[in-house]
Structure 1
Amino acid sequence: MKYLYLFAFAALFWACSESNMAGGTSEEAEGIVAIKDREVAGVTQKGPFLVGSSVTIQELDGKTLIQTGRSFKTSVKTNLGDFAVKNVNLASQYALLEVNGYFRNEVTGKNSEGMISLNALTDLTNRNNVNVNVLTHLETDRVLNLVQKQGMSFADAKKQAESEIFSSFSFTSVLEFPEDIDIFSGGNGDALFALSVLMLGNGSVADFSERLALAARSFAENGEWHGQEKAEVADWAYQIESEENAKNVENSTLSRIWENVDSWNPLYEQTYFNAPYIDGFLYLFWINEYNLGPCDKNHSGNMKKVANPHSKYFNKEFVCYYNDDYRCTDDGIGCRWLLAE
């Protein structure tokens, strides 16, 4: 009888071992991967967060994305917003990054007068770099909503949230994950910087925080951003983008923004980033909000009224201008909507 019990125990042990070898742990079978001794680094950008700003990595439950209460903290190392957190150990690959502090204001050219907080929600399975910016912040609550309330997978929720946000700003050419984008990287970085400028506007940090919160809540609930504050952003985008393209305009707002960003390059060192080009992104944003439609050779001379009732240009007429001397592009080069006066 003793040998029978030993045989049964050995058989059970072997079956369990076979199960673990074939399928791993139950968490692995459900796609949950623990993060071990990882260094997580990146840049924090509104404009860049200032040295000393706090950065926190929050551990999330692998199934619910609820914070477990375990966290890893560090601070921004330089005024370019960079950070690194060493020896990160998490129960799942999903993490929420939070940055809080002052930032370089690209519109005023000064450090911000108040502190802000931005978040980023990410999957650390195959990445060590996570950037935190306005795009990552806007998508965070939307992803949580899609996963926690609608039962979507993390990957599908991220894909949908990013598509919705890019579409809302008419930045359909952006293909990277938001946490991969750096405002100084060119290309998608230009789109991110345009978005940062749009959300900041020429108001206070309190105005920016309120606008960002309203947009994030709207995205979280509906996957879209509506409301009077978006029309106000579009009006400001129209004014500064059109100002830049007007003749005999000196010291335009966009020129000052470019000079402010260029001044962030460290003194006595070779310049290693250039101020992003954002004119075209601002143009795409405001013509979409005004619902003006395409402007090209086939629409040259067409007149259309602004359809957004929240805009101060509501019912004002715009005319499609086409210049035969230039190649017509979607971002307003060679053909653009102009206010009919």
Structure 2
Amino acid sequence: MTPTGASYTTTIENNTGDFNYGSLKMNSPYAKLTADGYFFNEVDGELSTSTIKLNAIVDLSDNSTINVNIVTHLKSQRIVYLVTSKGMSFADANKQAQKELMTAFALQDYATKDASQYSIIAGDDAAGALIAISSYVLSDRSEAEIVEFLSKLTNEFSSTGTFTDSTKEQLKKTKNYLNGKLEDINQNIVNRYKELGYNVSVKDLAYYFDWDNDGIAGNEIDGNSTVELSQSQITVPMEGGDYTITVKSDKQYYFEAPSTTTDGDSFESITPGGSVNEDTYFSSLYENGYVIKNMEYSKEIEGNTIKVHVAPAQFKAQKSVSFPLFNARGKQVAEITITQDGNPNMKSDRVNLGNDGANAVSYAFSCFRDAMAKVYQLEGNYSLQTNHTPFRADDSGISNAWQMFYKSLNLMSTIKRVDANALGYYQEYLNTYFALAYYAMTAYWGGVPYITEFGVDVAQNIARTSEQELLTQLAVSLKEAMPSLDEKKNESLSNVNDALFVSKDVARVVLAYVYMNQKNYSEAQSLLEKVVNNGYYSLENTTLSKYANNSECILGLAVQTRSGESVHPCLDYKDVILSLAECYYYNNNTSKAKQEIDEYCSKKSLNIDKTDIIKAIATLRYKTQTPFFLSFIRRNNLGGSFLGLADAQLYQLLWPLPSSDLNYNPQLTQNPGY
């Protein structure tokens, strides 16, 4: 292993890397070959901008054809060490170095073929192993870092036949980075050689990495993207129980995979499937004395058997929880869902909000209040115009109202989700607010994206639900919510708990409006009559259209201003009376309709033409600025005869969707005319 001093130089002849020294007279069969030049980085698919040197120490008497590559380079100094320090023959040293190096990368199954015969374009197992080791070196590194890391590996391996613990950990991180790159690496090699005029194939590179860290590459892979389970849905009674699931595979699967995918080689490994539990954010969703109880369960996996133990339920509403199953690469291959019945005997008295809950609900309702106040302001300004200038899609008021609605819905969705995983107490109250928000949006925009479960960027991929389909969904939701609501006068201004615990009348009014827009005036009339007959609300002897916390306010949310407390309208008794008159008219009870109109005019000191009942209702709505005026105009086809819109202007009864959201969400379509 001492250089003789003889040196020969040649050049690479073609794109397959061929070189030829011709006939050489040598005193020894052992030679050190050094390849020096630019290289193709199969990880990023780019040619290098700087050069690299790779070595191979070989016995030329055994081979007339030699390949120089990453593997020959990494073991070259180890061969020298074993011969010079351990007195081994070249053949034994070469064989041992080859076995040690391939074992260090869990590729010992491919150690019998000498690395000097490995070819990246051979399409065999040796090629797969070579590409894997090369990728470990290249990874997510600059060219200077590649040279440095290669030197580090070579030096460590030369004297010990393995790598240090810190380097092994680094290689695990590298493996996690390469996990998401293997298909690209494969294609990069195929494409590169295709550009050079050669057709090469590359085996599935996943089989040349040790994902489960058992020291053998590829033995953990079954080639499937999913795995079959004896059951993936477990239904558990409130008493709990023990359950067994069989994984129908001879490979090992994991709750937390030994390997995963990272975005960079320097990142720490991240266990897949981890997420922030919202319950930890709402440490005091409920008032003192009420603790959020989640489903308690444990799980273990041994071989192809999963055992699950579920404790007795400590919550009232049914709950579900899911956990993933991963293969060794960290790819989710299955999901197991546990659904447990709640305990109906859990305490069900009124549960007020705790500090975190009160803050969250207050913020959600403030966004909802601002959205409602903005659409009423926009509606009033438009209705009072003589020329009725259409809104623009980039109008800041339109955009602000739209964004506030969805912001409030998103916030309420989060509160609902946390509550559903605990006592499940606030669901129907929040569902009523949900329905009111979406009804309001249909009144002004028609069909809108109907989102009940918000998540990261979910809104950018949701198309509009048609107005009629959305109304049908809202009717179902409101009918389901109503039995859980209280029969009382709704008090929404005194504190956040009163605002949350809406009365049955709130749901009745919203459901009646839904029915009216579906032309189901019979059902709407019954609901509105119930609200009137309850006697909780009455018309005020005033002509003022400004809202106040009085007997006309069914649902109002307060805001503090410099001049004091101001009420923002949500639902209003004036609208109930005029809506009831409309129902009487369409249900062929003209006398009742006129009676409601007469009482309304008397209370408001108004004298109007009552010849045409529907136009009389329109006049009263116009003069007292009741909510959802444009929705009334639209369903009664009064855009032309009452508002004076030409046929070409009738599209203005629906507003434009904000242009910013159209740009953000390719699934959205604009309303006609804008």
Superposed pair shares fold, TM > 0.5: yes
Equivalent residue for 2:82?
146
Deviations 1:131-160 (A, max 9, x none): 000110111100100111111111111111
What amino acid maps onto 2:136 in structure 1?
Answer: L
> Quick one: distance in 2 between partners of 1:321 and 1:335?
14
Equivalent residue for 1:262?
190
> Quick one: distance in 1 between partners of 2:50 and 2:212?
28
Kindly tell me: are residues 320 and 304 of structure 1, through their superposed partners in 2, closer, same or farther at Cα, counting changes over 3 Å?
Answer: farther
> Quick one: distance in 2 between partners of 1:320 and 1:88?
62
What amino acid maps onto 1:112 in structure 2?
Answer: S
Q: Tell me if 1:336 matches 2:311.
A: no
> Quick one: distance in 2 between partners of 1:294 and 1:228?
25
Q: Tell me if 1:66 matches 2:58.
A: no
Kindly tell me: are residues 224 and 71 of structure 1, through their superposed partners in 2, closer, same or farther at Cα, counting changes over 3 Å?
Answer: same
Pick from 134, 144, 147 the counterpart of residue 196 of structure 1.
Answer: 134
C-alpha displacement of 1:78? 1.7
Q: Tell me if 1:275 matches 2:202.
A: yes
> Quick one: distance in 2 between partners of 1:128 and 1:288?
37
Kindly tell me: are residues 92 and 268 of structure 1, through their superposed partners in 2, closer, same or farther at Cα, counting changes over 3 Å?
Answer: closer
> Quick one: distance in 2 between partners of 1:144 and 1:151?
10
> Quick one: distance in 2 between partners of 1:267 and 1:338?
34
Q: Tell me if 1:97 matches 2:30.
A: no
C-alpha displacement of 1:109? 1.7
Equivalent residue for 1:48?
none
Contact 1:258-1:275 at 8 Å conserved across structures:
yes
Flag structure 1 segments of 5+ consecutive residues without an equivalent.
Answer: 1-64, 244-252, 325-333
Q: Secondary structure at the match of 1:80?
A: coil
Contact 1:96-1:119 at 8 Å conserved across structures:
yes
> Quick one: distance in 1 between partners of 2:94 and 2:211?
22
C-alpha displacement of 1:258? 2.2
Equivalent residue for 1:287?
213
C-alpha displacement of 1:233? 2.9
What amino acid maps onto 2:118 in structure 1?
Answer: I
Q: Secondary structure at the match of 1:132?
A: coil
Q: Tell me if 1:176 matches 2:102.
A: no
Q: Secondary structure at the match of 1:70?
A: coil
What amino acid maps onto 1:222 in structure 2?
Answer: T
Equivalent residue for 1:15?
none
Deviations 1:256-293 (A, max 9, x none): 32222112235595x431234311212x167358xxx9
> Quick one: distance in 1 between partners of 2:36 and 2:10?
11
Q: 1:16-165, aligned counterparts within 5 Å?
A: 65-165=1-101
C-alpha displacement of 1:232? 2.4
Q: Tell me if 1:312 matches 2:268.
A: yes
C-alpha displacement of 1:313? 3.2
> Quick one: distance in 2 between partners of 1:191 and 1:321?
30
Kindly tell me: are residues 320 and 89 of structure 1, through their superposed partners in 2, closer, same or farther at Cα, counting changes over 3 Å?
Answer: farther
What amino acid maps onto 1:103 in structure 2?
Answer: F
C-alpha displacement of 1:339? 8.1
Q: Secondary structure at the match of 1:264?
A: helix
> Quick one: distance in 1 between partners of 2:33 and 2:120?
18
Q: Secondary structure at the match of 1:119?
A: strand
Q: Secondary structure at the match of 2:94?
A: helix
Q: TM-score, normalised by structure 1?
A: 0.64
Contact 1:95-1:123 at 8 Å conserved across structures:
yes
Identity of aligned residues (%): 26
> Quick one: distance in 2 between partners of 1:139 and 1:303?
35
Q: Secondary structure at the match of 2:20?
A: strand
> Quick one: distance in 2 between partners of 1:100 and 1:268?
20
Equivalent residue for 1:212?
150
- Which of 1 and 2 has greater Rg? 2
Q: Secondary structure at the match of 2:25?
A: strand
Q: TM-score, normalised by structure 2?
A: 0.34
What amino acid maps onto 2:162 in structure 1?
Answer: E
What amino acid maps onto 2:186 in structure 1?
Answer: W
Number of residue pairs the alignment of both structures matches: 251
> Quick one: distance in 2 between partners of 1:73 and 1:320?
59
C-alpha displacement of 1:311? 8.3
Contact 2:211-2:220 at 8 Å conserved across structures:
no
Q: Secondary structure at the match of 1:163?
A: helix
Contact 2:254-2:327 at 8 Å conserved across structures:
no
Equivalent residue for 2:568?
none
What amino acid maps onto 1:156 in structure 2?
Answer: D
Kindly tell me: are residues 206 and 321 of structure 1, through their superposed partners in 2, closer, same or farther at Cα, counting changes over 3 Å?
Answer: farther
What amino acid maps onto 2:193 in structure 1?
Answer: N
Kindly tell me: are residues 261 and 303 of structure 1, through their superposed partners in 2, closer, same or farther at Cα, counting changes over 3 Å?
Answer: closer
Contact 2:257-2:327 at 8 Å conserved across structures:
no
C-alpha displacement of 1:298? 7.9
> Quick one: distance in 2 between partners of 1:198 and 1:323?
31
Contact 2:258-2:330 at 8 Å conserved across structures:
no
Contact 2:43-2:185 at 8 Å conserved across structures:
yes
> Quick one: distance in 2 between partners of 1:261 and 1:219?
28
> Quick one: distance in 2 between partners of 1:159 and 1:82?
25
> Quick one: distance in 1 between partners of 2:119 and 2:302?
34
> Quick one: distance in 2 between partners of 1:154 and 1:261?
34
> Quick one: distance in 1 between partners of 2:45 and 2:145?
17
Deviations 1:207-246 (A, max 9, x none): 11111111111111111112434422321312332x3xxx
Deviations 1:282-340 (A, max 9, x none): 2x167358xxx97974855576879xxx982399999979899xxxxxxxxx9535389
Contact 1:164-1:223 at 8 Å conserved across structures:
yes
What amino acid maps onto 2:35 in structure 1?
Answer: V
Equivalent residue for 2:178?
240
Equivalent residue for 2:163?
225
Structure number with the higher helix fraction is 2
